[in-house]
Amino acid sequence: MIGEKKSLFSGMQATGNLTLGNYLGALRNWVTLNEEYECFYCVVDEHSITIRQDPAVLRKRARALLTLYIAAGLDPEKNCIYYQSHVSAHAELAWILNCFTYMGELNRMTQFKDKAAKHADNINAGLFTYPVLMAADILLFQADVVPVGIDQMQHLEITRDIAQRFNGIYGDVFTIPEVYLGKVGAKIMSLQDPTKKMSKSDENANASIYLMDDPDTVMRKCKRAVTDSEAQILYRDEQPGVKNLLDIYCACTGKTADEAVKEFDGKGYGELKMAVGESVVAVLKPLQDEVARLEKDKAYIDNIIKTNAERANYVATKTLRKVQKKVGFPERIR
């Protein structure tokens, strides 16, 4: 815990383009959390380089993601929004925590196995120790809660294990983080394979709606969305494509599944897809307009980058110095 409020940490990788699923499932729901928590939102650029990146593209995407955070409604005065690479304590703490993490624990990480299979030509040590850097991200800010998806639960579990192991040796140094159990965002699935989550790394461009997609692109992708041959609009697991479209429609309009099913009673899939597309466009337009406005104000974004990095460094350094003292590193002479 930092100050009077409990602390919350989260972040997104500065690779690819954020999808509608990222927005409806996470980003949109972060906006009011600062009322209850002291929130730290990281643009995760250090994790991003486990896969080879074009340097110019990575810098551009990192800035675009930080701008998106703000455009989505995260107030940089109330939330600490910063680049991971601007806070050296992330990497410094990760090295120390590496020495308190066992190879067997890292070998069990399913995400490492998945990524190693996808990038067999670049199975690097960073990919293997990724969960330790993630643990450092969380523990630096003494995070009480972390909003994570199912795919990241294993990483939070190893973070807890590392923190408990360290505390068992040196006393209560780290807060043991819990899963954030507040409002859960909509789980948006792929438009082309509704058994899989919508992903910014999907190779099929029609599978995901990106936050910067123009209205024509959104409508085209919705029209091409996979449904089925049942020709009835019901909210049930047996119709995953239709259910996913209804989930998107409800998340964008605020309607319940029952209300949506009644609305489309007797209508065809074409009408459903059109309505879904229009609801998505209505949600994305104000976000895209705000991104365009912020991108023109370079000085404002630059100032946020500077001041928020200073805030993040101040908090992170307090934890890092405590850890360094505990493990026996010499004190710095000022």
Burial of 74 per CB tally in 10 Å (0-12, 13-18, 19+):
buried
Query: 3-state class of 39 per DSSP?
Result: strand
DSSP 285: H
Are the C-beta atoms of residues 200 and 16 closer than 8 Å to each other? Answer: yes
Q: How many CA atoms lie within 13 A of 3 on its CB side?
A: 9
Closest to 323 (Cα-Cα) out of 97, 8, 91: 97
Closest to 27 (Cα-Cα) out of 17, 214, 256, 115: 17
CA distance 309 to 319: 16
Residues marked active site are found at: 115, 197, 200
Neighbouring-strand partners of residue 179: 146
CA distance 244 to 272: 11
CA distance 334 to 331: 9
